[in-house]
Amino acid sequence: MRVLIAPDSFGETLTAVQAADAMAAGWSAARPGDDVVLAPQSDGGPGFVDVIAGTVSDLQTADLDATGARTTGIRTTWVDGPLDSPTDARWALVEGVAYIESAQAVGLALLEVPPTPETALHAHSRGVGQLIAAAIDAGAQRIVVGLGGSCCTDGGRGMVTALDGLDRARQRLDGIDVVAATDVEHPLLGEHGAARVFGPQKGADGAAIEILEQRNAAWAAELREACGRDVDDLPGAGAAGGIGAALFALGAARESGAAVVARFTDQARQVASADVVLTGEGRFDQQSLRGKLVTSLSRTAAVAGVPAIVIAGQVDVDDEAAREVGIVAAFSVTDFAGSVEQAMAEAAGQLEALTSRVGDEWKG
């Protein structure tokens, strides 16, 4: 039997590559005769660059053009982290296309302390702007910015500041195709916006959420004046703390981050050739059902007539809702381990053990 293992990252505990390795080890232990194919995925959030890198065999050994500049390869740029401490951020340049992962510069994992209302109010996106500037300087003709997993809610103001303001940023990006790669559909403002939906995950309490909302409302007015249209209510404007809105104001188009990765991993062909698909993420919940990677992948599998199984850190979706998006079963690492703490402390081992049990019980 051919098994496609294609998870997203598991929050801050496992990258998609690490999760895929653990799941493959578990399934192979239970069913050593199966043909296991690894295709770690991303929806633009943490792990986006690693997944891109893993699909291009020569990406680590960069090509050189006639002037000696690298045209394809993994690059590292020293940028301002979300609370100002410098950090190394990795990005990829593939045949003139730059792939930037916002979480490399402003991810939750980069906080020096656990998220609090104070960090939620002070975290900024300057590092993302510095990565875009590096891509421009490298001669990129297209820049794909993966959005997700951020600890900031600044609406992308920091990113724009690093690009020397809205007018100058638009000039610098003239002639370059910019893509906001996200599967989050939330707008910048309001009940379903960046501050109110994602603020609590970033440490914001009620008072901090209101401050962030007010700041972004004022910023939205500046974006409207600069670009001549409303961008704050566009789907995806609230992605990565509102970086999506600023990218739209700079002329970016929106594309599904999962779709970008699907092309690189030849997902449709891989799914069609499989007998079962295993995917997963840190938390399989109602947000997952709004177009995130696991449901995008499971729908692809359903069209191909291939059963899809989700193994997630936590599961908060009932069986009926899961079946509606093509998922035949969903399993929780937390339930298997007995607690969130145990599931996170031994993330790879618990995921491997649970996958082994799923494989042992699979009758497909």
The answer to whether residue 354 scores a pLDDT higher than 80 is: yes
**pLDDT tens digits, residue range 187-218?**
999 999 999 999 999 999 999 999 999 999 99
Contact 299, 317 (CB under 8 A): no
All domains of the chain, ordered by start, with CATH?
Answer: 2-41+266-361 (3.40.50.10350), 48-257 (3.90.1510.10)
Decide: residue 305, CB within 10 A, 0-12 exposed, 13-18 middle, 19+ buried. exposed
Distance between CA atoms of residues 283 and 254, nearest Å: 24
In this prediction, residue 61 has a pLDDT band, given cuts at 50, 70 and 90, of: very low
The answer to whether residue 68 scores a pLDDT higher than 70 is: no
Per-residue pLDDT averaged across 45-56, rounded? 84
Per-residue pLDDT averaged across 64-77, rounded? 64
The least confident of 67-76, 298-307, 331-340 is: 67-76
**pLDDT tens digits, residue range 147-181?**
999 999 999 999 999 999 999 999 999 999 999 99
In this prediction, residue 65 has a pLDDT band, given cuts at 50, 70 and 90, of: very low
**pLDDT tens digits, residue range 3-21?**
999 999 998 789 899 999 9
Per-residue pLDDT averaged across 97-118, rounded? 94
Element (H, E) at 103: helix 102-106
Residue 351 tokens read as 């995921």
Residue 312 tokens read as 């997630």
How does the average pLDDT of the chain come out, rounded?
92
Residues 6+ apart with CB under 8 A from 172: 133, 136, 163, 164
The answer to whether residue 295 scores a pLDDT higher than 90 is: no
Per-residue pLDDT averaged across 222-232, rounded? 93
The pLDDT of residue 292: 77
Distance between CA atoms of residues 74 and 66, nearest Å: 19
pLDDT, greater one: 16 or 68: 16
The answer to whether residue 67 scores a pLDDT higher than 50 is: no
Per cent of the chain over pLDDT 70 is 95
Residues 6+ apart with CB under 8 A from 154: 123, 124, 125, 215, 216, 219, 241, 242
The answer to whether residue 300 scores a pLDDT higher than 60 is: yes
Dump the DSSP string for 195-223. Answer: IIIIGGGGT--HHHHHHHHHHHHHHHHHH
In this prediction, residue 66 has a pLDDT band, given cuts at 50, 70 and 90, of: very low
The pLDDT of residue 64: 45
Distance between CA atoms of residues 309 and 142, nearest Å: 35
What single-letter DSSP state applies at residue 109? Answer: G
pLDDT, greater one: 264 or 247: 247
Per-residue pLDDT averaged across 343-351, rounded? 94
Residue 338 tokens read as 């007995």
